[in-house]
Amino acid sequence: MKSIALDLKQKGRKNDIMNLEEYGIAVQKNQSERIYTPEQSTNAAFYLTEGFVRLVNQQNCITKVIGSREFFGDRSIFSSENIYAEALTNIKYVRIDESSYKRLMDDNVELTMDITSSISKHYAYLQKEQTLLSRSKELFGHMKRGHSLLPLLINWKKDCSICLN
């Protein structure tokens, strides 16, 4: 499993955002619900339209918070037995399954390349020990996107619900 984050508005892709629903299904989840787990992988990309999602590497307890207008996902090329995603707040998102993702790739290869690039960056983030610098970058990233810092700070205080260590 892997996670991705990409603010399409910063890339000048507002039309791409509006068209995402053509490729996926709108979904709602309540706070603390799991979106995917190692036992329940989905091989899908998700575009978060509302709320915050927490990505967790349960082996090393590294976490990453994803906010609205960002992608996260569980794509097979970054498969992991240790990463899960859960709703930090009530959330709404668009789920783009494997076949729809392939269709999106045919229609907008640049967007899918950006999504894949973001997935790999967040997958790498979840593999490394967090430092003051990495947490500062995450904090400033949330501020830059205009997200509330409260979910991020709550996440930092909260331990993983499942750790293998």
- Sheet containing 91-96: order of strands: 25-29, 91-96, 44-50, 70-74
Q: Which band of pLDDT confidence, cut at 50, 70 and 90, is reported for residue 91? A: very high
Whose CA is closest to 84, among 63, 64, 62, 55?
55
Q: What are the structural domains of the chain? A: 14-157 (2.60.120.10)
Task: Measure the CA–CA gap between 123 and 117, rounded to whole angstroms.
Answer: 10
Residues forming beta bridges with residue 85, ordered by sequence position: 36, 55
pLDDT, tens digit (0-9, with 9 covering 90-100), for 23-68: 999 999 999 999 988 888 888 889 999 999 999 988 888 889 989 8
Q: The tokens of 150 are what?
A: 């409260």
Task: Measure the CA–CA gap between 24 and 44, rounded to whole angstroms.
Answer: 10
